[in-house]
Structure 1
């Protein structure tokens, strides 16, 4: 009897796995496209978004970095801003923008080139490009070299999953380092942090992660698009040109020049803007909540604070789901054989409790330990096991018993 019970549970495990495989193959042919509008609402959401947008305590404001909005200034105006900020002796200046070609306003180009030449520590924009579309970056797009070949370049690419600019750009991660024709190129935020504290960056790179989750700290003023307080101090272009700031605000700090709208608070500006886990509407997001320069700032802050997000890999997620699936098969088999009248109600209750516990535990672990555990497969395993096991006993097992085959033959005669 003992051996029969365990054999039966193992057969049930293989049956449910095979059934799950068949279902995934059917959905691969888009049989259930009718549900796409529902899926589209949730496809860009992760459970950990709830922690960022709703549960975490307000973080401390960033003190090592200032963000400067270039607005719609021409290059000559940007040059004036760079000179003013540079005179306040920042540790490093980063330019999160590209100057692709010379302008008809040659004087503006010359002024900007001269301003860059005066900056001791300068990080210039680069963009990784895969021209051949073969998965390997083969080109590094940089600002027009004759005029703007100063400082070091660092790439500004984010991992968003967007195929083009019109797609929803959800930014949770960034690549740490990429290679272009075998030459290494660091991410913009990493290069900025390297000038501020090379030892911290060395420890960061020693993690040897190709991709890192951004442990978001906050935003600039965003009209309530995120629930976080203002974590980054931003200067608008006119404040810089009119010198409406104290030089002590800039001295020995990192400064990122970037586009934050025509002026700070411009809600119509959508260029270089992303959805992040801080978005207050973590399901069915409506407004992009963060400019690219501020995303770089968050990655920079994470490195400077050495406050990283770790993750248990896919293998752990699969093994955990398999163990939970089998344990539930054993438990539900006992219920099916001992108290069959209670099977439906009792198993459904257990499934709901287990799924809610897994979901909550995932949020708690992420909130307190910065550890991501993918419980998706475990929750799916818990939710399908009850009905799938009923199919196993009610159909599959009966096909291999005399009584089951006899009832099937009687059914055919009707």
Structure 2
């Protein structure tokens, strides 16, 4: 009897895994997508978003970086801003914008080129482009070389999953470095951090991860346009041109020039704006909450503070799910054999408690240790164990018993 019990639980484990695999193959073809509008709403959400947007305390403001909004200024105006900021002796200036072609305003172009030439440590925008749709980038888009070939380039691409500008641009990860025609290109924020703390960047790259999850801290003060915590000081274009800041604010710091709307708090623009886990409306998002330049700032802070997000290996996630599934099979089998009348209600209660516990554990571990424990498969295993085990005993086992086959034959006579 004892041996039969354990054999049944092992058979049940393989049965449920096979059943889950078959269901996953059916859903892989999106057969039921038409019936799943709720699933579409949650498709762009991760459980860890709750930690970023709801649970974490407001961060300490970043002291090593200042963000500057260029607004809608022409190139001559941007040149004036660069000269003013450069006079305050920043450690490095990063330009998160591209100047593709010369303008009719030749004097403005020459002024901008001259301003670039005066910056000692300059990081210019570049964009990785994949022309052949393969796994490698083969082209690097940069600002018009004859005029703006100054400083070093670093790519600004984020990993969003968006195929075009109309798609949801949810930014959780970024590539740390890529190779274009055999030459290494660092991510924009990584290159800026390299000027500020080269030893930190060396250790960061030594992690050997081509893709990193961004440990978001916060955003800028934008007059209530978003509800994200304030972590970065931003200067608007007119504040720079009017010199409404103390030079000590800039001295020996990193400065990122980028577009933050026509002015800080601009609620109308959709240019270079992304959804992030800091968005409190993490279900059914309606408004993007962070400009690209601020995303770069968050990456910079992560490297400077060395507070990285580590993730559980995918294989460990599968193993954990199988172990939890088997333990539930053993428990539910005992209930099925000993208290059959209590089976449905008791198993459902246990499943709800276990799922809530696993979900909470994932949030707590991520919040306190910056470690992503993927409990999704484990929660799915818990939720399907009860009903799938009932199918196993009610259908699969009965097929291989005389009593079960007899009942089928009697049903045919009816």
TM-score using structure 2 length: 0.99
SS in 2 for 1:256: strand
Alpha carbons 1:54, 1:227 under 8 Å: kept = no
SS in 2 for 1:329: helix
| Structure 1: 5+ residue stretches without partners | none
Question: Are 2:268 and 1:268 aligned?
Answer: yes
Alpha carbons 2:225, 2:266 under 8 Å: kept = no
SS in 1 for 2:178: strand
Matched with 2:65 is: 65
Alignment of 1:210-229 (within 5 A): 210-224=210-224, 226-229=226-229
SS in 2 for 1:147: helix
Matched with 1:412 is: 412
**Separation in 1 of the partners of 2:163 and 2:323?**
37
Alpha carbons 2:90, 2:250 under 8 Å: kept = yes
**Separation in 2 of the partners of 1:250 and 1:343?**
67
Matched with 2:301 is: 301
Matched with 1:380 is: 380
**Separation in 2 of the partners of 1:393 and 1:36?**
30
Matched with 1:204 is: 204
SS in 1 for 2:104: coil
Matched with 2:12 is: 12
Alpha carbons 1:362, 1:372 under 8 Å: kept = yes
Shift of 1:387: 0.2
Shift of 1:401: 0.4
The C-alpha deviation readout for 1:139-187, integer Å capped at 9, x for no partner, is 0100000100000000000000101111000001111011111111000
Alignment of 1:274-285 (within 5 A): 274-285=274-285
**Separation in 2 of the partners of 1:354 and 1:298?**
35
Shift of 1:229: 2.7
The C-alpha deviation readout for 1:289-330, integer Å capped at 9, x for no partner, is 000000000000010011111111111111100110111111
**Separation in 1 of the partners of 2:16 and 2:276?**
37
Alpha carbons 2:155, 2:186 under 8 Å: kept = yes
Backbone CA RMSD of aligned residues: 0.9
Q: 1:195 to 1:291 in 2, by over 3 A?
A: same
Question: Are 2:320 and 1:320 aligned?
Answer: yes
Greater alpha carbon shift after TM alignment, 220-229 vs 118-127: 220-229
**Separation in 2 of the partners of 1:21 and 1:411?**
31
Question: Are 2:359 and 1:390 aligned?
Answer: no
**Separation in 2 of the partners of 1:240 and 1:117?**
20
Shift of 1:35: 2.9
Alpha carbons 1:116, 1:148 under 8 Å: kept = yes
Shift of 1:226: 4.7
Matched with 2:32 is: 32
Shift of 1:29: 2.7
SS in 2 for 1:409: helix
Matched with 1:355 is: 355
SS in 2 for 1:67: strand
**Separation in 1 of the partners of 2:211 and 2:2?**
48
Alpha carbons 1:125, 1:142 under 8 Å: kept = yes
Shift of 1:222: 3.8
Matched with 2:335 is: 335
SS in 1 for 2:317: helix
**Separation in 2 of the partners of 1:223 and 1:341?**
60
**Separation in 2 of the partners of 1:222 and 1:75?**
24
SS in 2 for 1:266: coil
Shift of 1:36: 3.6
TM-score using structure 1 length: 0.99
Matched with 2:105 is: 105
Shift of 1:227: 3.9
Shift of 1:223: 5.0
**Separation in 2 of the partners of 1:15 and 1:225?**
52
**Separation in 2 of the partners of 1:222 and 1:2?**
67
Alpha carbons 1:53, 1:226 under 8 Å: kept = no
Shift of 1:34: 2.1
Matched with 2:370 is: 370
**Separation in 2 of the partners of 1:247 and 1:110?**
26
Alpha carbons 2:236, 2:264 under 8 Å: kept = yes
Number of positions where the alignment pairs a residue of Structure 1 with one of Structure 2: 414
Alpha carbons 1:48, 1:363 under 8 Å: kept = yes
Question: Are 2:230 and 1:230 aligned?
Answer: yes
Alpha carbons 1:200, 1:304 under 8 Å: kept = yes
Matched with 1:163 is: 163
Q: Which 4+ runs in 1 deviate beyond 3 A?
A: 222-228
Alpha carbons 2:228, 2:279 under 8 Å: kept = no
